[in-house]
């Protein structure tokens, strides 16, 4: 799917509200509403992206300490749900904690029939890390539509943004994943990201 660049997505993301933080699959809410999940490396700007897309500064908790999101957080929006998955790839997290996170995320992906797509967050200065490629391989193998946000684009010059976007698109040209630049600080790519999410939440099954 090619995301629209129109500003028609606001309605789909109205009335964002925290629903639940799940520490285990038993706590996941009923699987009746369409969901879009946000995944990404710790400190890549996942929570900041989710907050901007919903226009709620503190909907998802942000922190300068990577690895803070340790639960699966569910948020209701008018058209469905947004799901903030635990960040991955932060070396200072104890192995036992990382293993618990992985089990939790695996449970989420394997059990959510209503999951319509995954927004994969990558730092535009360091895209396609080994952890990013592992997550991307996971979503694509599961047949999940995947849209990549190259975040923190404001930290790159215009030319570097274009080069990064071109490079990642070329690396993924054999996959169905879509890619865009994004900045939670300067709102680069906001309309495009919202339109993609709206499309997933509202398209017929």
pLDDT tens for each residue of 74-107: 999 988 999 999 888 765 667 787 788 888 888 8
Half-sphere exposure of 169 (CA within 13 A, CB side): 10
pLDDT of residue 14: 72
- Find, among 1, 4, 27, the residue nearest to 189 by Cα: 4
Helix 46-54 × helix 190-202 angle, to 10°: 80
Predicted TM-score (pTM) of the model is 0.88
Domain ranges of the chain: 10-202
Q: Which CATH number fits domain 10-202: 3.40.640.10, 2.40.30.10, 3.40.605.10, 3.40.50.300?
A: 3.40.50.300
């Amino acid at each position: 799917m090619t995301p629209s660049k129109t500003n028609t997505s606001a309605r789909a993301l109205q009335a964002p509200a925290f629903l639940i933080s799940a520490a285990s699959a038993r706590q996941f809410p009923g699987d009746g509403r369409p969901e879009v999940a946000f995944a990404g490396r710790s400190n890549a700007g996942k929570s900041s992206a989710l907050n901007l897309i919903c226009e709620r500064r503190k909907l998802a908790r942000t922190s300068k300490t990577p690895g803070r999101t340790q639960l699966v957080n569910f948020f209701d929006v008018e058209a469905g749900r947004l799901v903030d998955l635990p960040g991955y790839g932060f070396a200072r997290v104890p192995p036992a904690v990382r293993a618990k996170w992985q089990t939790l995320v695996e449970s989420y992906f394997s059990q959510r029939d209503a999951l319509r797509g995954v927004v994969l967050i990558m730092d535009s200065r360091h895209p396609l890390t080994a952890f990013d490629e592992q997550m991307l391989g996971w979503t694509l193998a599961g047949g999940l539509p995947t849209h990549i946000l190259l975040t923190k684009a404001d930290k790159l010059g215009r030319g570097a943004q274009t080069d990064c976007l071109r490079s990642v698109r070329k690396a993924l040209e054999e996959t169905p994943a879509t890619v865009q630049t994004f900045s939670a600080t300067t709102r680069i790519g906001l309309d495009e990201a919202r339109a993609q999410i709206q499309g997933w939440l509202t398209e017929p099954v």
